[in-house]
Amino acid sequence: MLHQYNPIGTTYTEILECLLSNGMIKLLLIRRVTENTWKPKIWHLNNYCEYHRARGHDTEGCQAFKNKIKSMFNTRELPLPKAT
């Protein structure tokens, strides 16, 4: 199932930095990737996710972080971005 996300008016990297600096979110535990680690079909060694603190995908494409932000909008922990 493909998730749909509303525009947030900034990058996910910027919103992560803002949430971290305001103590509104914590980073996930560091995942060590080894030769034997299961990797999804779309996994890139050169991409790094600040939220997961791991390689494989970038922060902008991180489904887990996008879902977290969507949940924070839904629970009103974060104000919804103004429509442009």
The DSSP code for 57 is S
In the chain, where the domains are located = 29-79
Contact 55, 34 (CB under 8 A): no
Q: Is the pTM of this model over 0.85?
A: no
Give the Cα separation of 64 and 2 in Å (integer). 13
Residue 21 C-beta-side C-alpha neighbours within 13 Å: 6
Per-residue pLDDT of the chain (84 residues; tens, 9 = 90+): 556 777 788 899 999 999 999 999 988 777 666 666 655 666 677 899 999 888 888 999 898 999 999 999 999 998 877 655
Provide the 3-class DSSP secondary structure of residue 66. helix
C-alpha–C-alpha distance, residues 73 and 77, integer Å: 6
